[in-house]
């Protein structure tokens, strides 16, 4: 299925605006694109005194198609959502659901304890809980005689 080109007029300003509309359509749904792109699921990040909580909306993604990578500065959430079968001989009036590969990289506002990270996936929502490391702990350093 192709996409509809929208042209507003021949003048340069309008032409650039038309390209912007095209870009919006391409980011809305990979079906408007010839090459493969990644989409970004919506995320909420909130913080309590002891932890950072990330909530990602990724309905329709099988747990087997979901990956998490973490280091001391950021977390990478990626995977893919399989496209559901389309209805034959149908004219789509609106197509906003994004399919294919997705990826989000989120940076932490404070150091976290990577050994205490937990993740759960329920009803299309991924929840990641990150325990903060205390930042004001003083460590004594022994001084050698050398």
Tens of pLDDT, residues 44-88: 999 999 999 999 999 999 999 999 999 988 999 999 999 888 888
Using a cut of 0.75, tell me whether the model's pTM lies above it.
Answer: no
Quote the tokens at residue 129.
Answer: 């809980």
* Domains of the chain, residue spans: 1-35, 38-131
DSSP string, 50-94: SEEEEEEE-TT--GGGEEEEE-SSEEEEEEEEPPPPPPTT---S-
Q: What is the DSSP letter of 29?
A: -
Q: Which of 122, 118, 130, 111 is nearest to 47 (CA)?
A: 130
- 14-24 pLDDT, tens digit each: 445 555 555 55
CATH code given to domain 38-131: 2.60.40.790
Compute the distance between CA of residue 117 and CA of residue 132 in angstroms, rounded to an integer. Answer: 10
């Amino acid at each position: 299925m192709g996409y509809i080109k929208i042209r507003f007029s021949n003048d340069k300003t309008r032409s650039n605006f038309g390209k912007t509309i095209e870009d919006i359509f391409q980011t809305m749904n990979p079906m408007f694109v010839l090459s493969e792109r990644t989409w970004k699921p919506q995320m909420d990040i909130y913080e309590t005194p002891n932890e950072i909580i990330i909530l990602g909306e990724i309905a329709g993604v099988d747990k087997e198609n979901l990956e998490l990578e973490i280091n001391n500065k950021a977390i990478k959430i990626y995977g893919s959502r399989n496209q559901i079968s389309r209805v034959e001989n149908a004219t789509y009036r609106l197509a906003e659901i994004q399919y294919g590969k997705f990826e989000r990289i989120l940076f932490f506002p404070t150091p976290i304890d990577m050994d205490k990270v937990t993740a759960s996936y329920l009803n299309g929502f991924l929840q990641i809980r990150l325990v903060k490391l205390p930042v004001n702990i003083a460590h004594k350093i022994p001084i050698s005689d050398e």
